[in-house]
Amino acid sequence: MLRLARFSFGVGDRFGHQAPAQLRAFQKLLAQGVEVVPVWNKSNREHSFIGSQPESVRAAAEQAVRQANWSLPWHTDADHIRLDTVDRFLSSSDFFTIDVADSIGKPASAEMIHRFLKNHPELFGNLHINGIPESIFLSGDSLEEIASKYLAATQEAGRIYRYIAHKLGEGNFIAEVSMDETDSPQTPQELLVILAALADERIALQTIAPKFTGRFNKGVDYVGDLDRFAKEFRDDLCVLAHAVHRYGLPENLKLSVHSGSDKYSIYPIIRQAILETGAGLHIKTAGTTWLEELIGLAESGDEGTLLVFEIYSIALEQIGALTEPYASVIDIHMSELPSLDDVASWDGTRWANTLRHIPSHPQFNSHVRQLLHVAFKLAAKKGTRYTDLLKSHSEIIGNNVYENLYTRHMKPLFLG
Ligand SMILES: [Zn+2]
């Protein structure tokens, strides 16, 4: 079976130019004795905004891996696919994030719910789970409620999983199920029921991405109650370990954190939890790398700085359309966005300081950062003008990409 390593880290590379710089961060980590496997993730939505094909993700990764003599495994993730979007990923992905968030809350048939409840008497009543101090209690009513909320989604996950398995062969790909793009977080109790139902669907589940408590806004830090997150994350780890044992799910099953990039304040919590429990981790970032491209371009001088200014000015104009698909995961205050007059005189350093995710820097602006995070399709529209600049300034951009991933993400997560 194609098995995902204990630690894996999802990197997005929207324009397919940064795989070598990203890989350098993994190599540096490996040199410090920590094995983390790179996964290049790109969703159907990102492909459609940019006009790229899934093959390009694999090709860029393959080339970077070959040039760097990368010796550990690596994967390409068909991120957030569904039955209607999976096909074009089949030939170039070995990791599939099966997104069933849209099916949460869809009514499951009475017969399905009845069968689930009948098959799972162990879920009724008081349940002791190793590591969770208080016991979990599920009354018949609450179990039925959870089942009816999630069974249509787990069934849909089974359908998509079996379709991929039919095309690629069971065991030849890594399966993740994601439920993060929905309104309310899943509690550890719900996660337990979901895992039992996914096991019923005979999904060889290696990672699962629940929606966690708190806000995971794009490209900026976590907003929420850190103690609550810590408790929930811990409990989820215990629930996973319990479900592996109880329902025969793959032993390497782990949590996948769809971070929306840059959740600095929960990194120490996650680190502590995986250290103490021995659990694995998959964490996804994506847009953080595209923002480093902008930062590097800004720093590269005249042409690059001008292009960043142009992209910002169009983003301001089209803010409604750009932010609409991400409404639930961004929090931009219009009054905090500098006007075109304000930014007209900005030099590259000013742009870099505004965008670079160092919240303590006096010029850092999380609103500009969030807006440009979701504005990558504007760069795609610039075509070769954008990508030629990426090529001619690959060194300064690559250094920013590497430094960001290694120093601000990997170090706090894996080295402390
Ligand atoms: Zn996600």
- What separation in Å is there between the alpha carbon of 310 and the centre of ligand 1? 29
Tokens 């080295």 -> residue: 415
Report how far ligand 1's centroid is from the alpha carbon of 182 (Å): 10
Query: Average pLDDT, stretch 344-349?
Result: 97
Residue whose tokens read 């009514």: 107
Query: Can you give the residue ranges of every domain in the chain?
Result: 7-287, 289-406
Q: How far is ligand 1, taken at its centre, from the CA of residue 181, in Å? A: 6
Q: List the beta strands (DSSP E) in 64-222.
A: 75-81, 95-99, 125-127, 136-138, 174-178, 205-209
- The mean per-residue pLDDT over the stretch 349-371 comes to 98
Question: Which CATH number is correct for 7-287, 3.40.190.10, 3.20.20.70, 3.30.2130.10, 3.30.1950.10?
Answer: 3.20.20.70
Pairing assessment for the beta strands 205-209 and 75-81 based on DSSP bridges = unpaired
Share of the chain above pLDDT 90, in %: 98
Q: Is the pLDDT of residue 225 over 90?
A: yes
Given this model, what pLDDT does residue 328 score?
Answer: 85
- Across residues 332-354, what is the average pLDDT? 97
High-pLDDT (> 70) share of the chain, %: 100
CA of 41 to the centre of ligand 1 (A): 10
* pLDDT one-digit tens code per residue, 204-220: 999 999 999 999 999 99
Distance (Å) from CA 178 to ligand 1 centroid:
7
* Sign of the CA dihedral with 122 first, then 126, 128, and 132 last: positive
Give the mean model confidence (pLDDT) for residues 218-241: 97
Q: Write down the pLDDT at residue 112.
A: 96
Tell me the pLDDT of the chain averaged across its residues.
97
- Cα–chain center distance at 327: 17
φ, ψ dihedrals at 81, nearest 5°? -90, 160
Write the pLDDT tens digit of every residue in 25-40: 999 999 999 999 999 9
Among candidate residues 379, 363, 259, 368, the one with its CA nearest the CA of residue 311: 379
Is the pLDDT confidence value at 64 over 90? yes
Question: In the 8-state DSSP scheme, what is residue 135?
Answer: P
Nearest to 193 by CA among 153, 134, 135: 153
Expressed in angstroms and rounded, the spacing between residue 61 Cα and the centre of ligand 1 is: 21
Give distance in angstroms: CA of 209 to centre of ligand 1. 7
For 101-147, what is each residue's pLDDT tens digit?
999 999 999 999 999 999 999 999 999 999 999 999 999 999 999 99
Residue 6 reports pLDDT greater than 90: yes
User: What span, in angstroms and rounded, lies between the C-alpha atoms of 209 and 199?
Assistant: 15
Task: Tell me the C-alpha distance between 362 and 186, whole Å.
Answer: 36
Q: How far is the CA of 258 from the centre of ligand 1 (A)?
A: 5
- Cα 347 to ligand 1 centroid, rounded to whole Å: 34
Average confidence (pLDDT) over 313-322: 97
